[in-house]
Amino acid sequence: MGTAPRVRLRALVWLLLACPLPGFAIGQPQYVSPTPSMDGFTLARGGAAATLYVDPNDDPGVIHAVRELQADIRHVTGVEAPLLSSVKLPRGSAVLIGTIGKSRVIDALIRKGAIEVGAIRGKWEATLTQVVDRPLPGIGRALVIAGSDRRGTIYGIYDLSENIGVSPWYWWADVPIPHRDALYAQVGRWVVGPPVVKYRGIFLNDEAPALTGWVKEK
């Protein structure tokens, strides 16, 4: 790559990072706020956070993403959300996360009629996020994240991370994470259908020293 193309590329990257763009994906709603809303779901407040639940038989990538969500909540609030991954269900208030056909809890919610997944079932990388009252015995309220497949579930998890204030660029571009004393999810139902581009990827400039220097450093 010549000097001029490199300069133009660097200028484009600078503009993308410097411009005050919204912190959320284009067209995606912001459903989490640091201020309470009427009948909102309390994700974190007063030094406590809702329990995160994922079926132990769900995809390993889903379980990994839930652990990252736990870390993201801690980064934002300073509170460690309990994480439960077992056949035993949580009690009280919980975030129920899982993949249709892989999570017994999500499948139980579907059978009970607590959530309606016709808009995502069988779709590619689709997800449903919804606040549900009394979804299962012992659980008073829940924020449910259900995915049509493992990638759909993972997308829903990271979408929640983005909603609480963790930029997708916080690691690659050192975007700071703002502190929030409390986090509340609005009552509602949010569906994200399959992506317009089925297979996506990113390009990393692997020319020395652009990436090789970074690799050796890290």
d(CA 17, CA 175): 9
Q: Has residue 201 been placed in a domain?
A: no
d(CA 99, CA 196): 21
pLDDT (0 to 100) of residue 159: 95
Q: Has residue 55 been placed in a domain?
A: yes
d(CA 193, CA 121): 10
pTM of the model: 0.81
CATH code for position 171: 3.30.379.10
Q: Has residue 170 been placed in a domain?
A: yes
Strand pairing category for 139-147 and 48-49:
unpaired
Q: Has residue 26 been placed in a domain?
A: no
Q: Has residue 59 been placed in a domain?
A: yes
Residue 216 phi/psi, 5-degree rounding, is -65, -35
- Cα 30 to Cα 121, 162, 171: the distances in Å are 23, 9, 21
pLDDT in tens, 127-153: 999 999 999 999 999 999 999 999 999
Parent domain of 130: 32-195
Q: Has residue 74 been placed in a domain?
A: yes
pLDDT in tens, 203-214: 777 677 777 787
Q: How many domains does the chain have?
A: 1
Most confident of 1-15, 26-40, 146-160: 146-160
CA angle 96, 85, 129 (to 5 degrees): 15
- The residues pairing with 133 across neighbouring beta strands, listed in sequence order, are 141
Q: Has residue 21 been placed in a domain?
A: no
